[in-house]
Homo-oligomer: A and B are copies of this chain.
Amino acid sequence: MSDEAPWLDDEEMAAWLPLIGLVMRLPGALDQSLRRDVGLSHFEYGVLVVLEHAEDQTMRMSDLAYLCNGSLSRLSHVARRLEKDGLLRRSACPTDGRSTLAALTDGGREVLKRAAPGHVRTVRSLIFDELSREEAKVLGDLAKRIVARIQAA
């Protein structure tokens, strides 16, 4: 691993600064349009989207947290708010008393339907209108490898 160089050289810096810019600015940009359109943060929206694609639109909290790139604690707080707003319902897991199952409600489906078009428009205009298909694929692959590193750490 990382043989103790004192600092990043110019080439590394030229890659690092824009990457920092990206990870600091993209979440805010995504939040903004979703917040305006349907009053959800991007994380909340992501929770609902993941649920939407799950079997029976239902999933264990910890699996959901993992797929949403968040901690279980964060998800638990968010789930409480979403449940209060009727977008999601929690119930005890019948096969494991420790687990909680989160399920999408009709209200949640409805919100997703309202949110999707605007969100897709945002994502396209920020990412896929700028990048060729090949470039997008490269970006995804590089991102995937870095995420794997983060998870390993």
List the interface of chain A (C-beta within 8 A of B): 1-2, 4-8, 11-12, 14-27, 29, 43, 46, 69-70, 116-117, 120-121, 123-131, 133, 135-147, 149-151, 153
Contact = CB atoms under 8 A, between A and B. Distances in A.
A147 B144 CA distance: 19
A24 B24 contact: no
Copies in the complex: 2
B136 A15 contact: yes
Contacts of A149: 125-127, 129-130
A127 B140 contact: no
Consensus secondary structure, chain A interface:
helix
21 contacts: A1-B129, A2-B129, A8-B120, A8-B123, A8-B124, A11-B133, A12-B128, A12-B136, A15-B139, A16-B127, A16-B140, A18-B141, A18-B147, A19-B139, A20-B69, A21-B144, A25-B147, A25-B151, A29-B150, A131-B145, A138-B142
Max count, chain B CB within 10 A of own CB: residue among A19, A46, A125, A153? A19
Interface-centre pick from A14, A131, A145, A150 (highest chain B CB count, 10 A): A150
Residue among A125, A130, A146 with the highest chain B CB neighbour number at 10 A: A146
A36 B29 CA distance: 29
A31 to B, nearest CB: 11
